[in-house]
Structure 1
Amino acid sequence: MTIKRLFDIPHYALEKYPKTDMFVTKYHGEWKKTSTQEFINEGNKISRGLLKLGIKPGDKIALITTNSRTEWAIMDFGLSQIGVVSVPVYPSISPEDYEFIFNNAEIQYCFVSDKELLNKVMKVKHNIPSLQGIFTFDKISGAANWSEIIDLGEDESTQIEVEDLSNAINTEDLATIIYTSGTTGRPKGVMLTNNNIVSNVLGSIPRIPKKKSLDYKETRALSFLPICHIFERMLFYLYQYNGFSLYFAESIEKMGENVKEVKPHYMTVVPRLVEKVYDKIYNTGSSAGGLKSKIFFWALNLITKKKSVSKPSGIQELIADKLVFSKWREGLGGEIITLVSGSAALSTRLNLMFQNAGIPILEGYGLTETSPVISVNSFEKMKVGTVGVPLDNLQVKIQEDGEITVKGPSVFKGYFQNDEMTREAFTEEGFFKTGDIGHIDSDGFLQITDRKKEMFKTSGGKYIAPQTIENLAKASKFIEQIMVVGDGEKMPCALVQPDFEFAKSWAMRNNLNIGSTPAEIANSPELKQRIEKEMDGINEHLGNWEKIKKIELTPEVWSIETGLLTPTLKLKRKAVKEKFIALYNKMYEHHE
């Protein structure tokens, strides 16, 4: 069968890869499996139930879940096959952003996972005239449950209506509106058609390796990134297409536990998570003490010296793999074929280290507006430090100023109700402007150097690319987050959020009293001096105009909750600067 629309994918999976555990979610300590046939049956009930509610093609329904789960998948299928536009929303955004999105998209019904999200939406419900009802996945006293829609759709006699609507859906019809969090301003509604996402799934499939000896019935992927994010969502469709079982992790906090239970073959990751996994490995190895720590550091030193990816060779590397790196792989379940990394730049050092420890990482690149993958590495064509070769069905053009632009079937339709912003997003030739700076090397690999919008000029007229410096700095154990500043100033400086836990253990090892609260730790002269030493090492790799001249340590954790990071853990630069303006002024000796 030919796949042209999103809802064709489960039907293809049923025909080619029927299985008992298409989706698996943990409820009250037990993994509950949903078969391919059950998934389609439940999705059909949702479609029929919504039609009875009076929903029609083109209407908008919001889906919000704290953690990805089977109910979200069933809703997505049920909506798409009757032409309803899904609007997946991040659980972590503010009630004000919910209000803006719901009004902008004219949301009629909303499905939320739990009580906390229900309360969040209820806070602003009275300001959203289009919102007719809210349903929950969890059973909550006094709240309408999603099972009511399933009950409404039990009668199969109206299935012909569902099929008629499905047959009328065109590949170019709008499938979803995804509101990008953005590092500045109000969210923008990215309109993606069926063809946008389907063409991206089909274009990405050849890049994801399969193990010939592994039966599809045994193949598992673990999902813990927000499914409202297009990166995770596109892979959610790709896994279905390939007949992989998709297990939804309970939460990022329980990921370690879930990985050991599921033993996945595939996982999508963001660089911050890879950094955290490595930090945990490093802390375990360094605190083991005695001979164990000596062996750990010896093995680490061995692979850190490797400048390219290769299997263990020679007696030393084989011993290191047996004693140390096999434990790393066990920590990720022991069966990983590959991790797929996206959303931000992955440090080349960490990428090489994981690959040489036998944990492959395929780093890719894309945006919500490109559904999302523009390029991704594969086992056949890989170059660490790049984001791979562009997909075969896309055309990538580097503009004169270095900006990466792209044209092809997965490039979005436009921003919802914002023609002006849509026009500004494209070149005269119809290429989408990514806002990223990069180049394609002689082997055809795409390399990202910075965000166009984030580059700034010092008062001396020199351009600074902050992300490059920040990625170097985050390799330090002492630095959890860093933001390079200096737009219009005489020199670049940096605001640094220390890794407070690591700082405490460092102080203990060195018999230093740096306090216990983030505020006390950030105020420690000894710690600041130590981090300045780290920055000196980083400055050695930078041009004179790029060297970080001063730093200040911030007294609190930068997080989504504090409004300093986006839901995909990117810096909200404006918010960080505003929050720590006193420290910024201190570095530049500005007097308020």
Structure 2
Amino acid sequence: MNERIYTAPPDTGVSIRGKTLVDVLYEAQARYHNPHFLNQPVGLGQWQPLSLHDFVDQVEALALGLQTLGLARGDRVAFFMESDAHFCLADMACLLAGLVDVPIYLTHAPESIHYVIAHAEARVLVVSNQERLEHIASLLRTLPLVTHVVVADATGVNVSTVEGRPLHTFAELMAEGQRRRAADPEAVVRLRTQIQPSDLATIIYTSGTTGQPKGVMLSHENLSFNALTSFSGIKAYRPGAEGEVALSFLPMTHVFARTLFYGYLYYATSIYFTTPEALREALRLVRPTTFATVPRVLEKIYGALVERAATMPGLRGRIFRWALRLAQRYELGQTPRGLYRWQLRLADRLVYRKWREALGGRIGFIIAGGAALSAELANIFAAAGIPILQGYGLTETSPVITYNRPELNRAGTVGVPIPGVEVKIAEDGEILTRGPHVMLGYYKDPERTREVIDEAGWLHTGDIGYFTEEGFLVITDRKKDLFKLSTGKYVMPQPLEQRLTADPLVEQALVVGPGYKFTAALLFPEEEALRRLAKRLGLDTNRPLEALVQEPKILAVYQEIVDRANEGMDPWEQIKRFVLVPERLSIETGTLTPTLKVRRSVLYQRYADQIRALYEGSASEAEQESTPSTF
């Protein structure tokens, strides 16, 4: 094993230890006053603000109200909630009350939801509203340990019980909590003094690409250390009401958004909640200075730019395409000089400032995580004055292990370690990490815990990567995704898939080939972009998608996309055949994870016939090595 241990470079933040998440709440209250701390959507383009002071007041009241349900410290509370201010309130109230919250993905199938609630032995179920209550109510029939149901927004709710369980509202519980606080002013103080940094804060069930979800146990310090240490590396971060404005649209059920919230809370950042569907309008109205996203959203933005460049007529089109080509030449970490520097300044005045305006006009940086972001996109956005800070981590690491800083950013990498975290590369290329960010373990599963955390405390991430000479971590693939061809050659599918999905015509891609002679791919087209392509090619755009994907002219364009993805790859890695699959992958169908990564095992099973057809009647191995063909 490579014994070199990588740690944070100097001046990239400080390690902040020993805090509970409740400490984070009260320290923020003591330092800042923000009348627009949390901003809850209340209609199209409208938000209802909640001040930091009122948020703390409601957290205390709800925490005391939850105690009236007969809960003991350490009891689990399941959340089936939207990712908004109500979620944040319920989360902090549980933490203050010494309860362990268990968030559930809204997109999970009923059997997965049932599994999580049952496995966690949740005593209380919290839902956002009437719609979520109706969605989950029938599952309670076979969940005897759930004794109470709580609804955040009671609008339209006209029942007092659900499947025989008492139904409570946030308003009722907070009113009861306020009465208790008035009768016993020391009640909240006693709650605070009972909480320790090592206490279990939450169990997050990972929604991985294979198998049953695993309950990741994260402590108060796991999360507080990770959030506060990570934020400390952004030197120019402005706290309080006059500081940063964050737009939040990622699921709070995922550790990425949760940890970001605790960082926002510590600095009393104004947070506006929205959804991916309403993102474009929210960017225009809120004009955030920052937001966090998964790379797929950025790929879609870039895809729109590429398509616009291809179709914009006249002088404006020529200028736009010139500016895009300039941005594609940009290299993070290298200072533009001479003519290129002057050209970038001109392009900024003519084109790039409009890109920034489309994101609200005030973006200081974008945080990207959850999947790999291509180097090309990182460079292009940086050229346009939109820095993307890509990071890396797992639910099991709370989540941040490494990330790029505004002053220390390299395209194609996931940055350098955060202070207090150790990282090293095993002999087989696997990334290992150790530190206060590593989980307590998997809930009720010590055997699987021992499989990923060795006796020396190193967590085995399952990812393959390496450090550059400058000390930046590069992820090459998932260890389990690496596959071997029948020729004995190994293929890493992720780099090819990143190149393919960077094109606006490709919504998702699955590179296949384990046990076969050559590499192939399933391409899932972006339907609207494909229909616009069909129109430009003079084809009938009203035809079904199933017919359009068989058109020779369409296939020829996708062959060009595949050819570009193959450039620079080793011969055995290059995609020799592909098929266009006229279907859309989604979280709801179980084909994508909540962070929009493909579930390989599901896709291999679902599209087994299409994969098999790619290899039927194939030419000799020598021909396949040299002659890519379109299926």
TM over 0.5: yes
Residues 1:390 and 1:191: Cα distance change in structure 2 (over 3 Å): same
Is the CA contact 1:339–1:361 (under 8 Å) kept in the aligned structure 2? Answer: yes
Q: Counterpart in 2 of 1:220?
A: 245
Measured after TM superposition, the shift of residue 428 of structure 1 is 3.6
Task: Kindly indicate whether residue 254 of structure 2 is the aligned counterpart of residue 229 of structure 1.
Answer: yes
| TM-score, with length taken from structure 1 | 0.95
Task: Kindly indicate whether residue 556 of structure 2 is the aligned counterpart of residue 529 of structure 1.
Answer: yes
2: CA distance, partners of 1:518 / 1:579 = 19
Measured after TM superposition, the shift of residue 147 of structure 1 is 1.9
Is the CA contact 2:32–2:240 (under 8 Å) kept in the aligned structure 1? Answer: no
Q: Counterpart in 1 of 2:213?
A: 187
SS of the aligned residue for 2:576 comes to coil
Among residues 273, 291, 299, which one is paired with 1:275 in the alignment? Answer: 299
Moved more, 402-411 or 124-133: 124-133
1: CA distance, partners of 2:281 / 2:506 = 26
Q: In the comparison of the two structures, how many residue pairs are matched?
A: 588
Q: Counterpart in 2 of 1:4?
A: 19
Among residues 140, 157, 161, which one is paired with 1:141 in the alignment? Answer: 157
Is the CA contact 1:554–1:580 (under 8 Å) kept in the aligned structure 2? Answer: no
Is the CA contact 2:240–2:270 (under 8 Å) kept in the aligned structure 1? Answer: no
2: CA distance, partners of 1:169 / 1:136 = 26
Measured after TM superposition, the shift of residue 466 of structure 1 is 0.6
2: CA distance, partners of 1:501 / 1:113 = 33
Measured after TM superposition, the shift of residue 314 of structure 1 is 4.2
Among residues 107, 110, 121, which one is paired with 1:95 in the alignment? Answer: 110
Is the CA contact 1:111–1:146 (under 8 Å) kept in the aligned structure 2? Answer: no
Amino acid across the alignment from 1:245: S
Moved more, 325-334 or 510-519: 510-519
Amino acid across the alignment from 2:358: G
Give matches, 1:306-385, under 5 Å.
306-308=330-332, 310=335, 314-385=341-412
Residues 1:264 and 1:311: Cα distance change in structure 2 (over 3 Å): farther
SS of the aligned residue for 1:231 comes to helix
Among residues 423, 428, 449, which one is paired with 1:401 in the alignment? Answer: 428
Measured after TM superposition, the shift of residue 215 of structure 1 is 6.6
2: CA distance, partners of 1:365 / 1:207 = 15
Q: Counterpart in 2 of 1:167?
A: 193
Among residues 276, 286, 290, which one is paired with 1:252 in the alignment? Answer: 276
Gaps of 5+ in 2: 1-15, 160-166, 619-631
2: CA distance, partners of 1:108 / 1:314 = 61
Moved more, 260-269 or 367-376: 260-269
Give 4+ residue runs of structure 1 displaced > 6 Å after superposition: none
Task: Kindly indicate whether residue 57 of structure 2 is the aligned counterpart of residue 41 of structure 1.
Answer: yes
Amino acid across the alignment from 1:207: G
Listed one character per residue, the Cα deviations across residues 150-186 of structure 1 (whole Å, up to 9, x for unaligned) are 1221212245233213211111110000000110111
Among residues 504, 509, 517, which one is paired with 1:490 in the alignment? Answer: 517
Measured after TM superposition, the shift of residue 378 of structure 1 is 0.5
Amino acid across the alignment from 2:453: F
2: CA distance, partners of 1:476 / 1:280 = 10
Is the CA contact 2:304–2:504 (under 8 Å) kept in the aligned structure 1? Answer: no
Is the CA contact 1:457–1:487 (under 8 Å) kept in the aligned structure 2? Answer: yes
Measured after TM superposition, the shift of residue 465 of structure 1 is 0.6
Residues 1:258 and 1:3: Cα distance change in structure 2 (over 3 Å): farther
SS of the aligned residue for 1:191 comes to strand
Residues 1:291 and 1:15: Cα distance change in structure 2 (over 3 Å): same
Q: Counterpart in 2 of 1:28?
A: 43
2: CA distance, partners of 1:297 / 1:358 = 17
Task: Kindly indicate whether residue 266 of structure 2 is the aligned counterpart of residue 241 of structure 1.
Answer: yes
2: CA distance, partners of 1:261 / 1:248 = 12
Is the CA contact 1:311–1:356 (under 8 Å) kept in the aligned structure 2? Answer: no
2: CA distance, partners of 1:216 / 1:122 = 40
SS of the aligned residue for 1:7 comes to helix
Q: Counterpart in 2 of 1:208?
A: 234
Is the CA contact 2:29–2:53 (under 8 Å) kept in the aligned structure 1? Answer: yes
Measured after TM superposition, the shift of residue 45 of structure 1 is 0.8
2: CA distance, partners of 1:104 / 1:484 = 34
SS of the aligned residue for 1:202 comes to helix
Amino acid across the alignment from 1:63: F
Residues 1:493 and 1:158: Cα distance change in structure 2 (over 3 Å): farther
Q: Counterpart in 1 of 2:589?
A: 562
2: CA distance, partners of 1:516 / 1:415 = 50
Residues 1:162 and 1:45: Cα distance change in structure 2 (over 3 Å): same
CA RMSD of aligned residues (A): 2.0
2: CA distance, partners of 1:215 / 1:133 = 37
Amino acid across the alignment from 1:60: R
Is the CA contact 2:250–2:293 (under 8 Å) kept in the aligned structure 1? Answer: yes
SS of the aligned residue for 2:223 comes to helix
Task: Kindly indicate whether residue 554 of structure 2 is the aligned counterpart of residue 538 of structure 1.
Answer: no
Among residues 315, 326, 332, which one is paired with 1:291 in the alignment? Answer: 315
Is the CA contact 1:93–1:567 (under 8 Å) kept in the aligned structure 2? Answer: no
Measured after TM superposition, the shift of residue 122 of structure 1 is 1.3
Give matches, 1:463-478, under 5 Å.
463-478=490-505
Residues 1:522 and 1:132: Cα distance change in structure 2 (over 3 Å): farther
Residues 1:590 and 1:95: Cα distance change in structure 2 (over 3 Å): farther
Amino acid across the alignment from 2:140: K
Is the CA contact 1:176–1:193 (under 8 Å) kept in the aligned structure 2? Answer: yes
Is the CA contact 2:226–2:398 (under 8 Å) kept in the aligned structure 1? Answer: yes
Is the CA contact 1:285–1:292 (under 8 Å) kept in the aligned structure 2? Answer: no
Moved more, 313-322 or 572-581: 313-322
1: CA distance, partners of 2:392 / 2:237 = 24
Listed one character per residue, the Cα deviations across residues 400-450 of structure 1 (whole Å, up to 9, x for unaligned) are 100001100010000001111111112342200100001112221111111
